[in-house]
Amino acid sequence: MTIKIEEAVLDDVEAMQAADAGQMLRAVASSGAQVRQAAIAAEEAGLARLREEGQPRAVVVAGMGGSGISGDVLAAVAGIGCRVPVVTLRDYTLPGWVGPMDLLIGVSCSGSTEETLAVVEEAARRGTRLVTVGAPKSPLAGLSEQARGIHVPVDSGGRLPRANIWALSVPLLVAAHALGLASVPREVLDRTADLLDDIAQRCRPTSEAFVNPAKELALAVAGSVPMLWGSSPLAGVAAYRFACQLNENTKYPAVFGTLPEANHNQIMAFEGALAASSNVDEDLFRDRVGDEIEPRIRLVLLRDTVEHPQVTRRREVSQELAEARGIPVSEVVAEGAHPLERLASLVALTDYASVYAAFVLGVDPSPVASIFELKERIAR
Q: Is the pLDDT of residue 98 over 90?
A: yes
161-213 pLDDT, tens per residue? 999 999 999 999 999 999 999 999 999 999 999 999 999 999 999 999 999 99
Fold for the domain defined by 3-22+203-360: Rossmann fold (3.40.50)
- Exposed, middle or buried, 211 (CB in 10 Å: 0-12/13-18/19+)? exposed
Domains 3-22+203-360 and 30-192 share a fold: yes
Nearest to 163 by CA among 351, 367, 361, 368: 351
Across residues 72-88, what is the average pLDDT? 96
Q: Is the pLDDT of residue 236 over 80?
A: yes
Quick one: pLDDT at residue 291?
A: 61
Q: Where are the domains of the chain?
A: 3-22+203-360, 30-192
Predicted structure pTM score: 0.94
Quick one: pLDDT at residue 2?
A: 80
E-strand ranges in the chain read: 3-6, 59-62, 86-89, 103-108, 129-134, 150-153, 225-230, 255-258, 289-293, 297-303, 329-333
DSSP string, 153-197: E---TT--GGGGHHHHHHHHHHHHHHTTSS---HHHHHHHHHHHH
Domain 30-192: give its CATH architecture: 3-Layer(aba) Sandwich (3.40)
Quick one: pLDDT at residue 286?
A: 53
